[in-house]
Structure 1
Amino acid sequence: MFGLAQIPMKSNSIRFAAELYTKIKLSSQSYTNGLPIRAYSEAVAENNDKISKAMKAYLDRAKEHDEFMSTQNVAFKLGKRHLANMMGADPETFSQADIDRSIQYLFPSGLYDAKAKPMMKPPELVIPQRKAAEFNQSGRPFHSMFYTGRPNYCKLLFQIVSNINELNDVEDQMRLKQASPDPTQKIDSAGYDWLSKDALEKILLENLCDTEYDNFIKAISRLNSHPYAYKKKSFLDKYCRPLLAKTHSDQIPKPLIDENGRSYITVYECLRKTARGDVTLLAPGKGTITINGHDITYFKDVQAREQVLFPLIFADMVEKVDVIANVAGGGFSSQSGAIRWGISMALRSFVDTETVDRMRIAGLLQRDYRRRERKKPGQAGARRKYTWKKR
């Protein structure tokens, strides 16, 4: 890779590389938080004549990265202190949970994607990690698969194949004993999926193409389909992620039957701002909507009507159920938001689990806890300032 492994090394250079390798154990570390870099820099500072050009370039990049992370950490701590002062809290005991709550309060967002919402987290959690040194001071790589270009990826495939071979040996031994796999320990893969390409790249710290990712999926799926895969469950759990929280049948209320033989569900405590209401859904229905004894024209604003109709349109239940809603307090916006949440929660009892998961992704099942921000002393409003006049 660097053309340095072929350079003959002197005996003292080999001894220095071995001692350095044992001291900081770079071969067992795939990631770095800056400490191995500093240890390596201090260790090789006394042996400048033995450092290869590749290692010098690596140390220069590592030094720049450490300085950048140090600057970001200082900025984060300063911002954390300012945020704590804004919220009237003690900066010394201001935790990450307090930061998240403060950001949600100061910057309310209706965006459903968590990546699109404003956040404030330590730089170590936001900035991608860097690989540690993969070669010693003479340019000799630590990893046996270094020259493949993606050593961590190749090592992962090697581990998967090794596990499959071990399970094959176990299967052969069990067949000789005329024994079969334990059906009670079979891995249930429902509700789980393999890591995405981006997530796998973050773990391996290597860029993968689509073909390499497909090869990983095929290999890990083959291991997971083995009859004795439960013996390698700890390894498989590292590379799978749960899908959306599974909606259990006991969490969704079963519809009741009224005197006319129709199924119905009533959702109480439908909240939005200062509006409070309850929503009853009846099926089968003709699509009639009754709000405080009026039809949907109870709302004069078109946007409020769209808020009420959105969950029915989303679940394709517009002309299949009837809606009866009673709401009080607040304005048209808050009342329509409360009814929308009540309809969404009631629809869970009349649609399949896939539609429920789609509704959860769309944010229909999430309460909107936003409130009007209070006026601040010395200001004209929550954010508005008084006009400053010099004279």
Structure 2
Amino acid sequence: MSNQTLFPSNNMITLIIIGIRDEFMKKQNTEFQIGRRHLANIMSMDADTMTQEDIDQAIEFLFPSGLYEPRARPMMKSPELIFPPKKAAEFDESGRPYHSLFYTMNPNFYGLLQEAVTEYVNLNKEEDNMIRKRISFNSDMKIILSGSDWLSQEKLSNLLIEQIDDAQYEQFKNVMLRLAEHPLSNKVKDFIMKYRYSLVNEAALAEIPKPSYEKDGRAYVTFKGARRKNAYADVTVHMPGTGKFLINDCDIEYFQDIQSREQITFPLIFTALLGKVDVTATAIQGGTTGQSGAVRFGLAMALRSFVDDKMVERMRLAGLLQVDWRTRERKKPGQPGARRKPTWKAR
């Protein structure tokens, strides 16, 4: 009697495992749909339009928990989220693994690194050819990574369907960064961006107000509630203008120190609108640094209405559209200041 009659083949085992998992997931999905309809009846909601966010809010309302770890709290999610997919059997009929890197324990991960190194070697060869032919390089040949970030360790593990530890994740970032820093990395942009995600562009998501117009035809935009430390400011920008500043019924000399004046003029210099608009601001509370920072943020937000989308993105990357939440650090008891320590003496 042959071994084939005694033991099932690997393909048969694979089909059995897949069938068991499909049956299990079907059962779990049925129970989830029943529970979802019961929950919708309790909360007087429509089960067909009930989203996962609605389910989470309902569970939090019905089963309040004070547990610190969110994963330990009651939850009700789709089976696909609770039981993520797993890799299928990786052997052929003779028991030979399909992947050449199977015995590394993480074939998909090391296959990714191998592919990245292969791309790097190919770029080096192309770079050598360009140098040999005396072809000059330009900045467009290098990929721009601003506005995106690498996938997190958890997301990378889910993408590769393998558990990635901290050391491997650092190795992944080092290899990919070296590839991205190559002078010709834009040629492998599609490969690199598969493992990056776009950052949420708050400046693009926020609705930029359209300018209003005065009787004389001048456009103006007002931004209210700009803050920095304890200071608040309302800023109005008129265009066209002559570069006039009016801060609390005073000109730019309201701020006596040079640093504060540079703060409020920087958005105008950055957007090349210095001397082309008039600025009126009202600042309350806080000190000189806080008020100048609040005026600067309000001015930058108001200027979005007078520049194109590319300039708005440049302003975001320069940090002009980001609220500065830093505050003065508190003084610590037993020492002269927040960080300052008393003079050390041997005796």
TM-score bracket, normalised by the shorter chain, equals 0.5 to 0.7
Q: Within 2, Cα distance between the matches of 1:132 and 1:357?
A: 49
Distance 1:173 1:199, change over 3 A: same
1:95-119: CA deviation from partner (whole Å, max 9, x where unpaired): 53xx42464367469x9x9979976
Q: Contact between 2:142 and 2:180, CA under 8 Å: does it hold in 1?
A: no
Distance 1:105 1:209, change over 3 A: closer
Aligned to 1:206: 162
1:143 aligns with 2:81: no
Q: Contact between 1:51 and 1:137, CA under 8 Å: does it hold in 2?
A: no
1:100 aligns with 2:53: yes
Spell out the pairing of 1:252-267 with structure 2 (5 A cutoff): 256=235, 257-260=247-250, 261=254
Spell out the pairing of 1:229-244 with structure 2 (5 A cutoff): 229-243=185-199
Spell out the pairing of 1:169-188 with structure 2 (5 A cutoff): 169-184=125-140, 186-188=142-144
Q: Contact between 1:50 and 1:138, CA under 8 Å: does it hold in 2?
A: no
1:51 aligns with 2:8: yes
Q: Contact between 2:248 and 2:283, CA under 8 Å: does it hold in 1?
A: no
Q: Structure 1 residue 185: deviation in Å?
A: 5.2
1:227 aligns with 2:180: no
Q: Within 2, Cα distance between the matches of 1:189 and 1:116?
A: 37
1:259-308: CA deviation from partner (whole Å, max 9, x where unpaired): 15479xxxxxxxxxxxxxxxx8626539xxxxxxxxxxxxxxxxxxxxxx
Aligned to 1:161: 117
Distance 1:178 1:246, change over 3 A: farther
TM-score (norm 2): 0.54
SS in 2 for 1:241: strand
Distance 1:283 1:226, change over 3 A: farther
SS in 2 for 1:78: helix
Q: Contact between 1:55 and 1:136, CA under 8 Å: does it hold in 2?
A: yes
Q: Contact between 2:90 and 2:99, CA under 8 Å: does it hold in 1?
A: yes
Distance 1:236 1:114, change over 3 A: farther
TM-score (norm 1): 0.48
Q: Within 2, Cα distance between the matches of 1:118 and 1:184?
A: 51
* Amino acid in the other structure paired with 1:100: E
Q: Within 2, Cα distance between the matches of 1:357 and 1:138?
A: 63
Q: Within 1, Cα distance between the matches of 2:33 and 2:325?
A: 39
* Greater mean deviation of Cα atoms: 150-159 or 170-179: 170-179
Q: Contact between 1:244 and 1:357, CA under 8 Å: does it hold in 2?
A: no
Distance 1:219 1:103, change over 3 A: closer
Q: Within 1, Cα distance between the matches of 2:207 and 2:135?
A: 38
Q: Within 2, Cα distance between the matches of 1:155 and 1:213?
A: 14
Q: Contact between 1:247 and 1:353, CA under 8 Å: does it hold in 2?
A: no
Distance 1:321 1:119, change over 3 A: farther
Q: Structure 1 residue 122: deviation in Å?
A: 2.2
Aligned to 1:266: none
Distance 1:105 1:66, change over 3 A: closer
Q: Structure 1 residue 130: deviation in Å?
A: 0.6
Distance 1:283 1:102, change over 3 A: same
* Amino acid in the other structure paired with 2:103: Y
Distance 1:137 1:353, change over 3 A: farther
1:133 aligns with 2:89: yes
Q: Structure 1 residue 218: deviation in Å?
A: 1.4
Identity %: 35
Q: Contact between 2:153 and 2:164, CA under 8 Å: does it hold in 1?
A: yes
Q: Within 1, Cα distance between the matches of 2:26 and 2:53?
A: 22
SS in 2 for 1:130: coil
Aligned to 2:150: 194
Q: Structure 1 residue 61: deviation in Å?
A: 5.5
Aligned to 2:340: none
Aligned to 2:30: 74
SS in 2 for 1:190: coil
SS in 2 for 1:216: helix
1:285 aligns with 2:287: yes
Distance 1:216 1:102, change over 3 A: closer
Task: Provide structure 1 residue ranges, at least 5 long, that are not aligned to the other structure.
Answer: 1-9, 14-46, 264-279, 287-316, 323-344, 360-391
Distance 1:126 1:140, change over 3 A: same
Task: Provide structure 2 residue ranges, at least 5 long, that are not aligned to the other structure.
Answer: 209-222, 227-232, 236-246, 261-281, 302-318, 327-347
Q: Within 2, Cα distance between the matches of 1:88 and 1:162?
A: 57
1:354-381: CA deviation from partner (whole Å, max 9, x where unpaired): 973879xxxxxxxxxxxxxxxxxxxxxx
Q: Within 1, Cα distance between the matches of 2:187 and 2:73?
A: 40
